[in-house]
Amino acid sequence: MKRILIAAAVVIGALLLAGAFGYTGPEDLLKVLRNASPVYLLIFLLTSALTFLIFAFRWQFILRCQSERIPFRKIFSYKLMGYAVSYFTPAARIGGEPVRAYMLKRHGIRMSKGISSVLVDKMMEFVVEFGAGIIFLLVAALFFTIPNQLKTAIIIAIPLGLGLLALSYYAIRRKWKPISAFLRLAGKIFRIRWLHWAREKAIRVEQNFLFFFAFRKRETMKIAGINLFVWGLRFFEYKVALLSFGYDASMPQLFAAMLVMAVASIIPIPASLGVAEAGQISLFSAFGAGPQIGLILALLLRARDVLISLTGMYLLSHEGVGFFEAFRNRNSEKNGYQYHKGKMIHYYKR
């Protein structure tokens, strides 16, 4: 059933992509491509590389706060591996996190501690991006000329967003453990032994996660600063990408384009196939820029992501882990065993 659903999602994405090309027209698309600026494209690639390096540094910093020192070269390669698995899973921004934690086990780091470092990394990224997005929406509603319907939607969305951030902060302060609580309830209902094992693992992960935010406040603020810098760098990245094809986008347009990619990445279609292209075409058509600008932006971002993912897949194979093996066994630690090169072997915990 899972394979059928994934295949159906791929077919839907392919149809959306074909529709995007059909709607835009090849002549307009080729005209934009002929006028592309190699200088701006190079700057775009360098900015994307810098962004990814900062992501790897942020994760290494979190691990150092947990008293774990891993060489940056390894951290960077593990980040690429996780990105590769995430990109080809049905939701493009999740899926590779257990792979990153699994690779840390080669350095003697327990799976629960590795997963907690990844969760801190993702949590900080989400909170800062979400908070910065709320602030930008507020500024756009107050100082930019936007349609009244969009302004009304922003006014409704801002209190909801602030409420979600406040709930997240309250949950961390109160040391809530929702994952283990859910698994405990499911274990009582279904009486499956695997759920009790998963709850024990979840408790360790949540303890490490809550410990970080409780006793690493100064480091948390530093990570927030890193994320804010990355968020600003992404604006520059999108700006340069559009300048590569002769379009000078405004700040609201850049934010809207980033928002479209964020929404597309959580839709359950592998690699957001067709969804990102259709979303950007609709967006830039509404801006009056022409659908070809939206399509070329989505294709440029996709080409970059595919290049990063192929690099991650190569590194996975170089480490002796096949891509499909990593995809199938993203959470392979169970009952004192782990997968290595397709075989289950016993290991001794620290």
Count structural domains, the chain.
1
Query: Is there a domain that residue 184 lies in?
Result: no
Query: Is there a domain that residue 347 lies in?
Result: no
User: Which residues, in sequence order, are CB contacts of 145 under 8 Å at separation 6+?
Assistant: none
Low-confidence spans in the chain with pLDDT less than 70: 1-2, 90-95, 144-147, 150, 194-195, 197, 320-350
- Using CA atoms, how far residue 251 sits from 11, 117, 137, 234, 284, in Å, is 34, 33, 11, 12, 13
Query: Is there a domain that residue 349 lies in?
Result: no
Query: Is there a domain that residue 200 lies in?
Result: no
Query: Is there a domain that residue 270 lies in?
Result: yes
What pLDDT shows up at residue 326? Answer: 55
What pLDDT shows up at residue 343? Answer: 39
Angle in degrees, 0-180, between the axes of helices 291-318 and 2-24, rounded to the nearest 10 = 140
Beta bridge partners of 346: 337
Query: Is there a domain that residue 165 lies in?
Result: yes
What pLDDT shows up at residue 342? Answer: 39
Helix, strand, coil shares of the chain as percentages rounded to 5?
80, 5, 20
10, 271 Cβ separation under 8 angstroms:
no
What pLDDT shows up at residue 58? Answer: 93
What pLDDT shows up at residue 187? Answer: 75
**Domain extent at residue 101:** 2-176+216-333
Query: Is there a domain that residue 191 lies in?
Result: no
Query: Is there a domain that residue 186 lies in?
Result: no
What pLDDT shows up at residue 268? Answer: 78
What pLDDT shows up at residue 331? Answer: 44
What pLDDT shows up at residue 155? Answer: 79
204, 112 Cβ separation under 8 angstroms:
yes
What pLDDT shows up at residue 348? Answer: 32
